[in-house]
Structure 1
Amino acid sequence: MTAGLVEHWLESGRLELPLPASGRTAERWQRLARLAEDNIVAARIAESHVDAVAILHELGGKPPDPGQLWGVWAAEAPDTALTATDADGAFTLNGTKVWCAGAGFCTHALVTARLEDGTQGLFAVTVTDPAVKALPSTWWNAGMAGSDTRPVQFTNAQAVAVGDPGAYLNRPGFWHGAIGVAACWLGGARRVADPLYRCAASRSADAYSLAHLGAVDAALAASDAMLAEAAAQVDADPFDRSGTAQLLARRVRTVVEHAVDEAITRTGRALGPGPLCQDGRHAQRVADLSIYIRQSHAERDLAELGQLAGRQAMRAP
């Protein structure tokens, strides 16, 4: 279902979004949120594709051809490695990449790999190349199972370098993309909270349900406001001359993560097990969003935010 839905979005033009920092960043994030309202798993794959489009634009890569579905596979683990070997500008990749979403249905991907000097490079690969092999799934959770996230093995796979070594991480667009993920989280949170909104509109709503909805509604509204303000800042400072792109992204993601936690927890506390046990679509959304939000690194991200905020306060007049 996920692959078919994303393919439909691709063919119908729903994934043709304004580029980040192009003056229409708010529209981009609003449309990502709406995709997640439709389907959280498909939106996670779609967000990766539109992020790849933006990365290729920012780093001077060749734009995707029509009908191609791109992933961004940049996760790293201490027990696996992907290396890139340069032979007069022709790169080959060897090793294993973990956490590759859409491993079985993406046509292309941007992947990070280590160069011989230890620096990190970004490379475009054709996933349908026989030298690129998705390994058997080790995914046991029902949440995000449709994302087909698997390890992928590369054996002398041909690759094209995208940008200079280190450019993938050292660009403002990395943090703009991080906010795009948060926009998808927010869309998912809205849908998870739907049963609570419907309950509050009914005559059977009690004070406890209304209190839970009040907390959820405030958190969702705060996230909307934060995304709108962030979009305005990104469009006003597309090259991050202020040096605040990371601080902004971490603030947005923290606010949205709180809204997600509120939506999942308070909807469950207010309505009990009924929707989770008897509404298959709601149960799947909760499962999907519970996994998706773990792209946040929780207290580690809060510690990074605190450090950045402290430095910013020290620089303030």
Structure 2
Amino acid sequence: MPESIALITPSVSVASAEALAAALAPRLLAQAAHSDVEGGFPTREFGWLREAGLLAAPLPVALGGSGLGETAHTAALLSTLRHIGRGNLAVGRVYEGHVNALQLLQRFGQPAQVARWAQEAAQGHLFGVWNTEAHDGVKLEPLPDGRFRLHGSKTFGSGAGHVTRPLLTAALPDGGWQMLILPADEQVPRYASEFWQPLGMRASASFRIDFAGLEIGTEDLLGQPGDYYRQPWFSGGAIRFAAVQAGGAEAVFDETRRFLQRLGRTNDPYQRQRLGEMSLLIAQAQHWLQAAAGVAARPDAATAAEATVAHANLMRSAIEDICLRVLPLAERCVGARGLLRPEPFERLHRDLTHYLRQPAPDAALADAGRYALEQTSPAYQLWQP
């Protein structure tokens, strides 16, 4: 291990990372309205995360992190993501991509690569995962000197212009899919900010990004072709974004209760009924996060990939349903008055509604049903090792 890496000491423990995220949530929420601009980015907020050591936290302790990204600490990771989502869903979206990239590079990278990228993360580089593309997706052209030239573009590249180490998937000439980590501060792509005119999540800067003509070396390739789609990590990773969404639902709950307390509406029997329903939903979301962390941290989570993926699909489906039920209850609680700025509900509604539109929700639930139909064990054993 390079001496410069060995000298890095972990800035936070797993427990303190979770506590720091919880403490940051109110600051993130207070700042969110100022960051809610099309084409903008929560630069100040990521400065806070960087100062708190949360960008390096998913790294192993030996590489300057807290080990937050390790399977054994999945519960703490999901709680950390939930707290950041509670503060600002756009920040949570980009931070979840950062965590995803760090987990992928640790899982599939060579030791020298992991050490190099870990050092860059510890130095403050922001990582992300840009996989979504349209008809003109990213392709890798092998060059005579052993390097590769990129062609094509990605869509919904969250953190565009601020993520300096994006992890991309690219098509090889033989049809395989190869991961790479682009040094985007040296090989600078072209960002099309006009692509991003969203309903919500304005501050996530999820632009269309053109990589045509950029070149990388073999040291920038991550893993083997097809590794990105290996299960249970590809589909099972949905529990991370669902944790951020659950944080968004908690923010809606907290702000609804604050609004009613401020107006002295706590004795209204209908408001109490709605808050009871919302409390039930929030508790369900929290239980789902605990259950998902337990399944993901099982010793056989990788070998029992189908069960792990099926449970993750159930969890993401449940969290989506919970959020979609919390939102109209909150609207009825606060009425038209509560949906006027500077109250946060209008932004929270837009951001959470937009963020819930993750790929293939129906297919995810159908796949969980397929798995259940193929099993013969009773329901109480269905998700057990």
TM-score above 0.5, yes or no: yes
In structure 2, the residue matched to 1:192 is 252
Tell me which of 300, 303, 314 is aligned to 2:363: 300
270-279 vs 100-109, which moves further: 270-279
In structure 1, the residue matched to 2:242 is 182
In structure 1, the residue matched to 2:335 is 272
In structure 2, the residue matched to 1:53 is 102
Alignment partner of 1:104: what SS?
Answer: coil
The answer on whether the counterparts of 1:186 and 1:260 sit within 8 Å (CA) in structure 2 is yes
Question: How far is 1:308 from its partner?
Answer: 2.6
In structure 2, the residue matched to 1:258 is 321
State yes or no: 1:83 paired with 2:139: yes
Query: Any stretches of 5+ residues in structure 2 without a counterpart?
Result: 1-34, 36-41, 59-66
Partner deviation per Cα, 1:181-209 (whole Å, 9 max, x = no partner):
11100011100122333366655442322
114-123 vs 171-180, which moves further: 171-180
Q: State the identity %.
A: 27
Alignment partner of 2:155: what SS?
Answer: strand
Question: How far is 1:85 from its partner?
Answer: 1.9
* Structure 2 letter corresponding to 1:251: L
In structure 2, the residue matched to 1:13 is 53
User: Which gives a bigger RCO, structure 1 or 2 (Cα 8 Å, sep 6+)?
Assistant: 1
For residues 216 and 203 of structure 1, do their structure 2 counterparts lie closer, same or farther at Cα, with a shift above 3 Å needed?
Answer: closer
CA RMSD of aligned residues (A): 2.3
The answer on whether the counterparts of 1:133 and 1:153 sit within 8 Å (CA) in structure 2 is yes
CA distance in 2, matches of 1:139, 1:156: 23
Query: Any stretches of 5+ residues in structure 1 without a counterpart?
Result: none
Alignment partner of 1:277: what SS?
Answer: coil
196-205 vs 128-137, which moves further: 196-205
Alignment partner of 2:304: what SS?
Answer: coil
Alignment partner of 2:297: what SS?
Answer: helix
* Structure 1 letter corresponding to 2:206: T
Tell me which of 152, 157, 160 is aligned to 2:209: 152
CA distance in 2, matches of 1:308, 1:51: 25
In structure 2, the residue matched to 1:74 is 131
For residues 261 and 313 of structure 1, do their structure 2 counterparts lie closer, same or farther at Cα, with a shift above 3 Å needed?
Answer: farther
The answer on whether the counterparts of 1:121 and 1:161 sit within 8 Å (CA) in structure 2 is yes
The answer on whether the counterparts of 2:265 and 2:271 sit within 8 Å (CA) in structure 1 is no
Alignment partner of 2:227: what SS?
Answer: coil
Partner deviation per Cα, 1:58-108 (whole Å, 9 max, x = no partner):
11143341210011001132x222101234652221111111011121111
The answer on whether the counterparts of 1:220 and 1:259 sit within 8 Å (CA) in structure 2 is yes
Question: How far is 1:171 from its partner?
Answer: 3.8
In structure 1, the residue matched to 2:295 is 233
Alignment partner of 2:344: what SS?
Answer: helix
Alignment partner of 1:309: what SS?
Answer: helix
In structure 2, the residue matched to 1:247 is 310
Partner deviation per Cα, 1:145-198 (whole Å, 9 max, x = no partner):
111111111122223211100101104332442111111000111001223333
The answer on whether the counterparts of 1:190 and 1:263 sit within 8 Å (CA) in structure 2 is no
CA distance in 1, matches of 2:83, 2:300: 24
Alignment partner of 2:372: what SS?
Answer: helix
Normalised to the residue count of structure 1, the TM-score between the two structures is 0.91
For residues 304 and 249 of structure 1, do their structure 2 counterparts lie closer, same or farther at Cα, with a shift above 3 Å needed?
Answer: same
CA distance in 1, matches of 2:269, 2:197: 38
The answer on whether the counterparts of 2:236 and 2:313 sit within 8 Å (CA) in structure 1 is no
In structure 2, the residue matched to 1:208 is 270
For residues 52 and 279 of structure 1, do their structure 2 counterparts lie closer, same or farther at Cα, with a shift above 3 Å needed?
Answer: same
The answer on whether the counterparts of 2:260 and 2:334 sit within 8 Å (CA) in structure 1 is no
CA distance in 1, matches of 2:99, 2:214: 24
Alignment partner of 1:23: what SS?
Answer: helix
In structure 2, the residue matched to 1:28 is 77
State yes or no: 1:98 paired with 2:161: no
For residues 237 and 274 of structure 1, do their structure 2 counterparts lie closer, same or farther at Cα, with a shift above 3 Å needed?
Answer: farther
For residues 276 and 200 of structure 1, do their structure 2 counterparts lie closer, same or farther at Cα, with a shift above 3 Å needed?
Answer: closer
Any residues of structure 2 matched to 1:136-175 within 5 Å, and which?
A: 136-159=193-216, 160-175=220-235
Tell me which of 263, 280, 284 is aligned to 1:222: 284
CA distance in 1, matches of 2:85, 2:178: 30
Alignment partner of 1:155: what SS?
Answer: coil
